Structure 1
């Protein structure tokens, strides 16, 4: 056990190293006298290492999204990466190294590859536990690749995906070779290959406690999220339906304590799979009461007095502004970015509206929103009136509004902006800082974050054009 912990620590240092030459990097690889993981328990420990490596997603996109604002003074004290992400600068990092949105996600890919190779090498795939670990590793690798693609690749366009830059698809644990960037189409194909393979392996039931571990429900839910981002609404609806057929529980927010600083449980009933944003950007993404990131007033104003989400999602700060409460998983100071049933309800409702089934889309949306409504929050009481739509556009607008309110600060808004602008929404973002206005037009190249400078120096990868 001690040797395995030493191996995990040393490998983590290696794959999180930065600012070194390739030869220096390779000199730090584990020596042969350190025990390599060989047992099912050891491989499980690698995938369960969610305190430092696994079950994290990037946060650059959250810092770029239009959920919040910061003061001039607080902006000045933030890191270069935080400041530049906030104003959508072309040079994001400005000398910052070891960017976790890249390093930590590729650390996850490395761990998954170690497990997949080790299970095969040690003849452990002929057991139920071995098969589960294989499915888990494939899911986690797909989840990591997808998060990397959301941050560092263009929004998917089937007409250009075969030539648009994708990710370096590292599919083995070797650290002594360089992998060039694939195309975006090959990146998506690899993610789908991993998900289709693990779908036939993972259990159907939702884990009651270990929500860092995937199930078939999580596979279908991730498929639905990706399909939505690809604007493949037929497949998105189909996979959302499959996930909800396996597990479709919704919480009634009337049963939660709106005055609690942590209103949601670590095991709340809507959670399907746990992940959280990397904990490296404390100025802009932390959820504590001392947060510098304040919720935009226009976002706060979207919630009616009877909508419980305002009190459950946000905290009133001493200066009269609002900050974000502890995330949807009720744990930690950084935001929940995993998979949950409320997102699936919204995906299915949106896809129904897009194919013209207006009544069904509204019925499905109302199943969710009625559980967020408290009639006697006001005097006189206001009973819930089901949302209706006059036509397809009205239905879609109302669903997207509820998506904005329901999934706030879940790591989805940036990708929604990319997707909706590809659909013609023409959403322009604007921020002002120190008397200067900063504009991010629709479909701007700056929606794709640059690969970290130290990675470019080390590997020579082709950089994104901003």
Structure 2
């Protein structure tokens, strides 16, 4: 069965969900029935994507000149991204769409069809049907973990029961009206329930490739969730389980810039499923992510050893395709994986060890990663857990540069700790714009079109 037929079927099922008691199948269309039909939906092209890159314009990792021949500069940004870069209160106008919100809920609807119906499908064992359901639960949890951290206050156990989160859509009915926002706690409870079930039934290794979920991803996503919640014991526990299932790192030291005159193909680092670190792959809407959309900020660039760190030498450049750059351009031209990789799990384990465990164990995780990133790496040594935590967070920023909402979420959670709170400054045409710690502008606005059709939905006041 062709995947486009199945996707059409999903749309028909969704649109007719309130009349399914009629038991009428449209002529010429095959409604998903067999387990393999639902499994094919997991390969739907839209499910291969996730998140978005634009939240990076709010962060301290980006720098844009006002005008620029290479990146286009600030003046070339679409209006919503200009407003983010200057920390405006309003971001999206009535005629402007928010792809992060819209496509996330689009994918959630498809996952809901699988979750709701696959156990009643035919021609498969119960174990196989549970595995397919587990992959859909994994995908839905991943989407909601991104959404609640982008459009709501960061998780605070003291206020999560009352802080507005995002709407929880948990079935295939798209005819609901006047939606409201579930609390942050309710969203996290649902994420946990989905991930707990998924982790039990996911396969040890992905089906076909890492676009499909497996056990290390289930436990890795639980580790991420608990890290965001500030439950470092549970985050560490799940990170360790994930690494027991898959601890593969790619040594990027042998790779190189093969042709600085090229754009795509300028470096030979493997991407997507060819990179064994990518244990769960979801691509950015623009598959190369922030590539050549920005320069690294002075603050970010100061973190790299520009002579020995391959992440700088490969992914940033002062020359590309005939252009000499005054600043360090972000130009990896590698498919940006917005989902999960083994380095992130090492970093979660290291951060949790630094916070509640052993500084030496934290450094062991970090140095294992750095041995695969830095020429002649001299192992880092921490004098205290506090020193270890600072080193881990710096390494996290170097490793997860410009990936989706990662830095925005990290800023939100770290701003609650006085020693890590910071004011971000962007300059545009000689004017400085500042984003203070814990500002409500760190929270993305609910799209105006959503608010217009759901008058009881509480907006984010920025």
TM over 0.5, shorter chain: yes
In 1, the alpha carbon distance for the partners of 2:25 and 2:454 equals 23
In 2, the alpha carbon distance for the partners of 1:415 and 1:13 equals 36
Name the SS of the counterpart of 2:112 in structure 1: helix
- Asked if the contact 1:258–1:308 (Cα under 8 Å) also holds between the matched residues in 2, the reply is no
Is 1:177 aligned to residue 176 of structure 2?
A: yes
Say if 2:51 is the partner of 1:57: yes
Partner of 2:312: 310
Other-structure match for 2:392 = 399
Residue in structure 2 matched with residue 191 of structure 1 by the alignment: 191
Greater CA deviation, 307-316 or 143-152?
A: 307-316
The unaligned stretches of length 5 or more in structure 2 are 15-23, 68-72, 259-265
Cα deviation code 1:118-142 (max 9, x no counterpart) = 2134356743332221111111111
Q: Does 1:451 align with 2:451?
A: no
Aligned-pair CA distance for 1:257? 2.5
Q: Following the alignment from structure 1 to structure 2, what is the Cα–Cα distance between the partners of residues 61 and 31?
A: 42
The answer (yes or no) to whether the contact 1:428–1:439 under 8 Å persists in 2 is yes
* Distance in 1, Cα, partners of 2:93 & 2:451: 14
Distance 1:445 1:76, change over 3 A: same
Q: Alpha-carbon deviations, 1:329-366, whole Å to 9, x = none? A: x43xxx32121111111111111111251222222221
Supply the RMSD in Å over aligned alpha carbons: 2.5
In structure 2, the CA distance between the partners of 1:299 and 1:14, relative to structure 1 (3 Å rule), is farther
Matched with 2:112 is 113
Q: Which residue of 1 aligns with 2:328?
A: 322
* CA deviation after TM superposition for structure 1 residue 217, in Å: 0.4
Cα displacement string for residues 206-241 of structure 1 (whole angstroms, at most 9, x for unaligned residues): 55x521111110011111111111111111111110
For residue 89 of structure 2, what is the aligned residue in structure 1?
90
Structure 1 residue 31 displacement after superposition: 9.2
- Partner-residue secondary structure (3-state), 1:345: helix
Question: Deviation at 1:423?
Answer: 2.0
CA distance in 1, matches of 2:244, 2:9: 43
SS in 2 for 1:157: coil
Shift of 1:36: 2.6
Partners in 1 of 2:9 and 2:118 — Cα distance?
21
| Contact 1:362 1:388 (8 Å CA) reproduced | yes
Pair 53,251 (structure 1): closer, same or farther in 2 beyond 3 Å: closer
**CA–CA separation in structure 2 for the residues paired with 1:12 and 1:57:** 22
Once the two structures are TM-superposed, the CA of residue 313 in structure 1 deviates from its matched residue by: 2.1
In 2, Cα distance between the equivalents of 1:64 and 1:124? 49
Report if aligned partners of 1:93, 1:453 keep a CA contact under 8 Å in 2.
yes
**In the alignment, structure 1 residue 167 sits paired with structure 2 residue 166:** yes
* 1:295 CA drift (Å): 1.7
Asked if structure 2 preserves the Cα contact closer than 8 Å seen for 1:337 and 1:410, the reply is yes
Question: Quick one: distance in 1 between partners of 2:381 and 2:331?
Answer: 31
CA distance in 1, matches of 2:59, 2:12: 31
Whether the 8 Å contact between 1:63 and 1:86 is mirrored in structure 2 is yes
Kindly indicate whether residue 344 of structure 2 is the aligned counterpart of residue 338 of structure 1: no
Q: Give the distance between the partners of 1:326 and 1:308, measured in 2 at CA.
A: 12
Structure 2 SS opposite 1:432: strand
Judge conservation of contact 2:25–2:31 (CA < 8 Å) in 1. Answer: no
Report the Cα distance in structure 2 between the residues aligned to 1:357 and 1:171, rounded to whole angstroms: 40
The range that moved more, 113-122 or 432-441, is: 113-122
Partner of 1:435: 430
Counterpart Cα distance in 1 of 2:149 and 2:11: 24
SS of 1:113's equivalent? Answer: helix
Instruction: Write the distance in 1 (CA, Å) between the matches of 2:124 and 2:89.
Output: 47
- What SS is found at the alignment partner of 2:427? strand
CA distance in 1, matches of 2:449, 2:164: 19
Q: What pairs with 1:239-278 in structure 2 (closer than 5 Å)?
A: 239-259=238-258, 260-266=266-272, 267-278=274-285
The 5-angstrom pairing of residues 8-19 of structure 1 reads: 8-9=7-8
> 2-side partners of 1:262 and 1:436: how far apart?
40
Q: Deviations over 1:303-327 (max 9, x none)?
A: 2111111112223332323322346
For structure 1, which runs of at least 5 residues remain unmatched after alignment?
16-29, 376-383
Between the aligned partners of 1:447 and 1:232, the Cα distance in structure 2 is: 22
Contact 2:280 2:339 in 1 (8 A): yes
Q: How does 1:13-52 map to 2 (within 5 A)?
A: 32-33=26-27, 34-49=29-44, 51-52=45-46
Tell me how far apart the structure 2 counterparts of residues 426 and 286 of structure 1 sit (CA, whole Å).
Answer: 25
1:129-144 matches, cutoff 5 A = 129-144=128-143
Could you tell me whether the CA contact under 8 Å between 1:358 and 1:389 is conserved in 2?
yes
Report Cα offsets for 1:229-255 as digits up to 9, x if no partner: 111111111111010011111122223
Aligned to 1:414: 408
2:34–2:122 Cα contact (<8 Å) kept:
no
What is the Cα deviation at residue 116 of structure 1?
1.8
Conserved in 2, the CA contact under 8 Å of 1:228 and 1:347? Answer: yes
**Cross-structure match for 2:20:** none
Q: Which residue of 1 aligns with 2:417?
A: 423
Alignment of 1:335-414 (within 5 A): 335-375=336-376, 384-411=377-404, 412-414=406-408
